[in-house]
Structure 1
Amino acid sequence: MSTSELRVGAHTSIAGGVHNAADAQVDLGGNCGQIFSHSPQVWADPSIDEADAERFRDLASEHDLDPWVIHTSYLVNLCTPKADLREKSVASMRTEVDVARELGIDYVNVHLGAHTGAGVEAGLENAVEALSAVEIPEDVTVLVESDAGSGTKLGGDFEHLAYVLEESNHDLEVCVDTAHAWAAGYDLSTPEAVEDTLAEFDDVVGLDRLACIHLNDSKHGLGTNKDEHAHVGDGEIGEDGMRAIVNHPALADVPFVLETPTEDGRSYEWNIRKVRELRGA
């Protein structure tokens, strides 16, 4: 059982103003969180004015909501061989890190993307080059997220993450999504499996580079490369695995951000309570 304070929250909406994401987090019982700064389905610049940003910062401070993560647009593809798409991706990343600085948010989370036939090595080199073109403010850290590994998407192997971190001219860190890691073939279903997977991550990437966990169960089997999230403890990873993750001493100070579904009469609030129940259980 961990003696550190549990940091668990959910991805909340900024509809009506970014401050609403903080209010929603309080209502859900979370104490950290994640947002999109704009619709993740389109290329767009965020429209957050200074008054709204200040209100968000004040609410986060008042309710001890920390840390926060901005998740980048789904359109961002750092690995692409297409120069125009990579330029758009870099421009989007530049905007996101600036917004993070304005909101007092620590992290910007990004998927590496897909090499679309260029090959793993070329795709990873493209990602390193793209990230190197982003000027990251001193108080913001970019997190590279683990992937489910379908098609030509990179980031499913811990080695992909390690390569980008090692080759980058920035001090990048990692966000591991438990559903993605499971889909990519890393077993998390038992305490022994969690121990082995974390040991492998530590050996390849380093647990000191793990800044955040997207805590999601999975609707699909181990190594299927299928990315579909389930309620905590109700998916293929299961309650034993989730309990082992949230109680592992190496993860005691790592925040857990939920991207679980809203279905079966359960949403983020239920999942946050479930994580709190599992902690120390």
Structure 2
Amino acid sequence: MKVGAHVSISGSRVSSDDETPPYDDMRNAVHRQLAFGGNCGQVFTTSPQVWAQPELTDEAAEGFRSETEENLEGPWVIHSAYLVNLCTPKDDLRRKSKESMQAELDAAERLGIPYVNVHLGAHTGAGVEGGLDNAASLIDELDVPEGVRILIESDAGSGTKLGGEFSHLAGIIDRTETDIGICIDTAHTLVAGNDLTTPEAVDETVGRFDDEVGLEYLEYIHLNDSKHDVGTHKDEHALIGEGYIGEDGMRAIVNHPDLRDLPFALETPTEDGKGFAWNIEKVKQLRDE
């Protein structure tokens, strides 16, 4: 089973054992993942709250690649900055979003990471069709390195944000000439209006996704429970099995024949003394042999 967490690269003294030297770079992610019991996962290469370029030394990039290959099943995925808006009609924001995405794609190539995950963003008045057109044209202007794939993440669907409906995901695939994939966030999918609370509901939602988008495009799953119910469009993650998806829904997701072999990255909160290690172990317990 490929399951891990979204881990930080920050800090100056992270090691998985007494014999491993400390690092102050991307290699922290590998050691944190091991400490949590994960074997794949997600990272930010820089602060997601500001327009900043990843700072990678050759030593750090080579170390990250070699330690990942030695210790993890993989794959990693980079999550783009929160400020990126592919759908925007505003020239300045579009330019900054393009520059940020290109930097992440280049970093992924150096790090040996096969995916860069990004939200479509908000159309802010351009409309659904206009927003999807904007996103597709921006994606097609990027220089995507060989071996790296852009993943469009499903959204909770609040306001003018796109990606909450499967038709939006299908729409961006249809519009772009770039070979993109999809990352489904289970919490986002639930609150966007798709039931995931029972085995029957999970099977129906997966079937609709296949009909509208195509399971061949699904590359990664953000496995999160939700503090809010179906169709509320409120994005707030919960501990695995302790939200509205619940244990029955989570068990159905991680064992579904069309999903079980995909990598799962957790973005769960730390609450009541339960952090990533607890959540990863919970997922493993829900998985059938």
Contact 1:145 1:176 in 2 (8 A): yes
Name the CA distance, whole Å, in 1 between partners of 2:29 and 2:146.
24
- The letter for the 2-side match of 1:19 is R
Name the CA distance, whole Å, in 2 between partners of 1:133 and 1:269.
39
Q: Does 1:7 align with 2:2?
A: yes
Which runs of 5 or more structure 2 residues have no equivalent in the other structure? Answer: 11-23
Equivalence for 2:229? 221
CA displacement at 1:65 relative to structure 2: 3.6
Equivalence for 1:129? 137
**Equivalent residue of 2:221, what SS?**
strand
**Equivalent residue of 1:271, what SS?**
helix
Q: Does 1:63 align with 2:58?
A: no
Name the CA distance, whole Å, in 2 between partners of 1:275 and 1:40.
27
Equivalence for 1:85? 93
Contact 1:33 1:65 in 2 (8 A): no
Aligned positions of 1:39-188 closer than 5 A? 39-188=47-196
Counting matched residue pairs gives: 276
| TM-score, scaled to structure 2 | 0.94
Name the CA distance, whole Å, in 1 between partners of 2:110 and 2:9.
15
| TM-score, scaled to structure 1 | 0.97
Q: Does 1:28 align with 2:32?
A: no
CA displacement at 1:138 relative to structure 2: 1.2
Equivalence for 1:3? none
Name the CA distance, whole Å, in 2 between partners of 1:96 and 1:257.
18
CA displacement at 1:58 relative to structure 2: 1.1
CA displacement at 1:125 relative to structure 2: 0.5
Equivalence for 1:279? 287
Equivalence for 1:18? 26
Equivalence for 2:239? 231
**Equivalent residue of 1:143, what SS?**
strand
Which runs of 5 or more structure 1 residues have no equivalent in the other structure? Answer: 1-5
**CA-based RMSD:** 0.8
Name the CA distance, whole Å, in 1 between partners of 2:209 and 2:239.
24
CA displacement at 1:252 relative to structure 2: 2.3
- The letter for the 1-side match of 2:137 is E
Contact 1:175 1:212 in 2 (8 A): yes
**Equivalent residue of 1:98, what SS?**
helix
Contact 2:253 2:260 in 1 (8 A): no
Of the two structures, which has the highest relative contact order with CA contacts closer than 8 Å and spacing of 6 or more? 1
**Equivalent residue of 2:269, what SS?**
coil
Contact 1:218 1:235 in 2 (8 A): yes
